[in-house]
Amino acid sequence: MEERGLKIFAPEGEPKMDDKVFFNEEMLENRDLSLIAAKAFFEKIDIEDPNIGDPLTGTGIRGLRYSELGDIYLNDANPNAVESVKEALKENDVEASVENKDANVFLSGKPGFFHFIDVDPYGPFTPFLDSTARAANYNSFVGLTATDNSAPTGSYPTVCERRYGSKPLKNGFMHETALRIYIKEAFEKFARYDKCFAPKFCYQFKHYTRVMGRVTESKKRTNKALENIGYLSYCDECGWRKLKRVQECEHCGGEVEHAGPLWIGKIADSRFTEKMLEKTPEEWESSKDILEKVHAESEILTPFYDLHELASRHDVPVPKRDKVIQALDEKGYPVSRTHFGPTGIRTDAPLEDILEIMES
Ligand SMILES: C[S@@+](CC[C@H](N)C(=O)[O-])C[C@H]1O[C@@H](n2cnc3c(N)ncnc32)[C@H](O)[C@@H]1O
Ligand SMILES: [Zn+2]
């Protein structure tokens, strides 16, 4: 099997957790965007021969893809995976260190060592977050994948409270709430080690969420960034929402629900995503599409609106998304599409203005 010209050894077809070696073709965009983000980071930071860790490597594909950037350290607890990694390294003529340990043991043995760590587990990344925070250099980049989205999107609120210490909300923008809970979790865990985790490019796609950020040593910066941890408010009567804890809906005066604690800052840094866009090959279309949308919406903070949901709630015909975007733009409001869904928009415009446009 091949990905972007690199040979790997994995079973064909739908991936299963009891496969000899796990590989999911559906994660192509995750791997493309992680490579591009790492390139953007290393261009800015310029570390000679950076150490890159892939503690849950499976076939070794991530390490292979990052091998152009630095020294590669691969690990997997499954001895079959390690065998297929070694085969792939030989086949692609790539050198790397390969270990067969529990990921926490692998990371704990290398405190402060890695300049980029890619944590890509089954389910949540939380079991590996402490050891990742310790193994991350004071000047590094970290990528975290989570596939336990049903908990922070509100299907299992108790699991979410237990695992993330946050209350989720199951509504039209639940995937954004989940992303913000994941970012909060990463930020707080790194903060305990006096490391500042600054989200650079975070998104939700298919069945997973990906959080990528820069790690620096700065107690002052971490203290300042604490202001990005908070709550969001949502009115189930009218669909109004805000990234702030308030007691009353600012649109209809109704009661509001809260989700959090979660990250109330930006989910991406537009200067960083701009650099990433410059590095993205035209032919990586699906990956570029995600990146362009995240870039466009990164400066707008209000959680996105799903226009179908808003139309049905207010009993108005479903409007054309581009028409709503154009009208809000003409009124001078920040507005964009959103990567969270094809029928969504992101805008800081007041709800009454959005509804007025939808009704016109
Ligand atoms: C989702 S797969 C990794 C996929 C791979 N990163 C990719 O992009 O194709 C998770 C991998 O973690 C390994 N794994 C699961 N728990 C582990 C642990 N505690 N320590 C080390 N490896 C583990 C599994 O054997 C599996 O290969
Ligand atoms: Zn309301």
Tell me what ipTM this predicted complex has. Answer: 0.99
Assess whether 271 and 320 both reside in one domain.
Answer: no
- Residue 351 pLDDT grade (very low, low, confident, very high; cuts 50, 70, 90): very high
Assess whether 283 and 313 both reside in one domain.
Answer: no
141 Cβ closer than 6 Å to some ligand 1 atom: no
CA of 253 to the centre of ligand 2 (A): 6
Of the candidate ranges 9-18, 221-230, 241-250, 311-320, the one whose mean pLDDT is the lowest: 9-18
Q: What is the pLDDT of residue 216?
A: 97
Any idea what DSSP says for residue 303? Answer: P
Assess whether 223 and 343 both reside in one domain.
Answer: no
Q: What is the pLDDT of residue 80?
A: 95
- Residue 14 pLDDT grade (very low, low, confident, very high; cuts 50, 70, 90): confident
107 Cβ closer than 6 Å to some ligand 1 atom: no
Over range 114-139, report the average pLDDT: 98
Over range 90-102, report the average pLDDT: 98
Beta bridge partners of 288: none
Degrees, nearest 5: CA angle 206-148-86: 80
Of the candidate ranges 44-48, 111-115, 251-255, the one whose mean pLDDT is the lowest: 44-48
- Residue 135 pLDDT grade (very low, low, confident, very high; cuts 50, 70, 90): very high
The helix or strand, by DSSP H or E, that contains position 289, with its residue range, turns out to be helix 285-297
Assess whether 221 and 331 both reside in one domain.
Answer: no
Domain boundary at 297, 319, 339, which? Answer: 297
The domain that contains 217 carries what CATH number?
Answer: 3.40.50.150
* 267-277 tens-digit pLDDT: 999 999 999 99
Q: Which atom of ligand 1 is nearest to the CA of 22?
A: 27
- Residue 330 pLDDT grade (very low, low, confident, very high; cuts 50, 70, 90): very high
Assess whether 311 and 221 both reside in one domain.
Answer: no
Over range 303-327, report the average pLDDT: 97
Scanning 109-156, the segments in alpha helix (DSSP H) are 129-135
Domain boundary at 256, 272, 297, which? Answer: 297
- Residue 258 pLDDT grade (very low, low, confident, very high; cuts 50, 70, 90): very high
Assess whether 284 and 315 both reside in one domain.
Answer: no
pLDDT for 156 beyond 90? yes
Assess whether 247 and 329 both reside in one domain.
Answer: no
Residues sharing a CB contact under 8 Å with residue 62, sequence separation 6 or more, in sequence order: 31, 34, 54, 118, 120
Over range 174-181, report the average pLDDT: 98
Q: 44, 275 in Cβ contact below 8 A? A: yes
- Residue 46 pLDDT grade (very low, low, confident, very high; cuts 50, 70, 90): confident
pLDDT for 15 beyond 90? no
The domain that contains 328 carries what CATH number?
Answer: 3.30.56.70
Assess whether 222 and 334 both reside in one domain.
Answer: no
- Residue 174 pLDDT grade (very low, low, confident, very high; cuts 50, 70, 90): very high
Domain boundary at 297, 318, 347, which? Answer: 297
CA of 254 to the centre of ligand 2 (A): 5
In Å, how far are 64, 99, 208 from 55, measured between CA atoms? 13, 9, 18
| CA–CA gap between residue 22 and residue 65 (Å, rounded) | 17
Assess whether 54 and 194 both reside in one domain.
Answer: yes
- Residue 212 pLDDT grade (very low, low, confident, very high; cuts 50, 70, 90): very high
CA of 56 to the centre of ligand 1 (A): 4
| CA–CA gap between residue 73 and residue 67 (Å, rounded) | 10
Smallest-distance ligand from the CA of 234? 2
pLDDT for 17 beyond 90? no
1 Cβ closer than 6 Å to some ligand 1 atom: no
Smallest-distance ligand from the CA of 253? 2
Assess whether 331 and 260 both reside in one domain.
Answer: no
Q: What is the pLDDT of residue 95?
A: 98
Q: How many CB atoms lie within 10 A of CB 225?
A: 18
Q: What is the pLDDT of residue 211?
A: 99
Assess whether 184 and 314 both reside in one domain.
Answer: no
Residue that the structure tokens 């989940």 belong to:
178
pLDDT for 13 beyond 90? no
183 Cβ closer than 6 Å to some ligand 1 atom: no
Q: Which atom of ligand 1 is nearest to the CA of 56?
A: 12
146 Cβ closer than 6 Å to some ligand 1 atom: no
Edge-to-edge strand list for the sheet holding 195-205: 97-99, 71-75, 51-54, 114-119, 136-146, 208-217, 195-205
Give percent of the chain above pLDDT 90.
96
Q: What is the pLDDT of residue 312?
A: 96
61 Cβ closer than 6 Å to some ligand 1 atom: yes
Q: What is the pLDDT of residue 4?
A: 97
80 Cβ closer than 6 Å to some ligand 1 atom: no
Give percent of the chain above pLDDT 70.
100
Residues 122-154 as b/e (b if ≥16 CB within 10 A, e otherwise) read eebbbebbbbbbbbbbeebbbbbbbbbbbbbbb
- For residue 183, give its domain range: 2-297
Assess whether 75 and 189 both reside in one domain.
Answer: yes
Smallest-distance ligand from the CA of 256? 2
The total of structural domains in the chain comes to 2
Q: What is the pLDDT of residue 291?
A: 98
The pick from 8, 16, 22 for probing ligand 1's pocket by mutation, whose C-beta has the most ligand atoms within 8 angstroms, reads 22
Mean pLDDT of all residues in the chain?
A: 97
Which pair of structure tokens corresponds to residue 75?
A: 């690990």
